[in-house]
């Protein structure tokens, strides 16, 4: 399957929320990046967007790009393009890995759990291969320097045989 993930991971009251991103292509994921946001996402509505085109997948928060996954198929890196994707929104119990590595369990006495959406849009575009300009790249570097808490491209413990190829391609 192909999948583009934008997920919020649970937290302890008062801890920052973790925004988890991942890209699956041809059934393979393991391309996670995680961020603590520069605001509390529970205090107000925010805009979370994914721009997916033949050149790249760009994840943005309130118009600020936080991650770009480039299409590097010519270098042997799978890119989701062979099948249509669907939009899903769900609340699910991922306490076995998502809450500090499974240390924090779901407090079921607080159920039912809810999510709210406002001004939801799923737009398609005929843009072909747009990528980030210098300003967008500078914003990504700022976010990643100040708010990224996990990047699969630096996790040598997880990939002892070598990091995935896209991690070393400029």
Catalytic residue among 3, 32, 68, 95: 3
Contact, 71 vs 79, CB < 8 A? yes
Is 7 noted as a catalytic residue in this protein?
Answer: yes
Distance of CA 41 to the CA centre of its chain: 15
Q: Which residue has the tokens 């070393």?
A: 168
Q: How many Cα atoms within 13 Å fall on the side-chain side of residue 161?
A: 2
Dist CA 5 CA 64 (whole Å)? 17
Catalytic residue among 7, 32, 68, 95: 7
Is 32 noted as a catalytic residue in this protein?
Answer: no
Dist CA 44 CA 159 (whole Å)? 38
List residues with catalytic annotation.
3, 7
């Amino acid at each position: 399957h192909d999948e583009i993930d934008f997920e919020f991971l649970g937290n302890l009251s008062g801890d920052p929320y973790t925004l988890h991103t991942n890209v699956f292509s041809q059934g393979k994921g393991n391309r996670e990046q995680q961020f603590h946001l520069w605001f509390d996402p529970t205090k107000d509505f925010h805009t979370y967007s994914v721009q997916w085109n033949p050149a790249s997948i760009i994840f943005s928060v309130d118009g600020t790009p936080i991650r770009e996954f480039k299409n590097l198929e010519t270098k042997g890196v799978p890119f989701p393009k062979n099948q249509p994707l669907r939009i899903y929104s769900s609340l699910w119990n991922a306490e076995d890995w998502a809450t500090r590595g499974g240390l924090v369990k779901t407090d079921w006495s607080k159920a039912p759990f809810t999510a709210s959406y406002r001004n939801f849009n799923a737009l398609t575009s005929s843009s072909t291969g747009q990528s980030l300009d210098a300003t967008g790249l500078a914003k990504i570097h700022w976010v990643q320097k100040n708010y990224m808490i996990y990047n699969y491209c630096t996790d040598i413990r997880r990939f002892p045989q070598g990091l995935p190829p896209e991690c070393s391609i400029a």
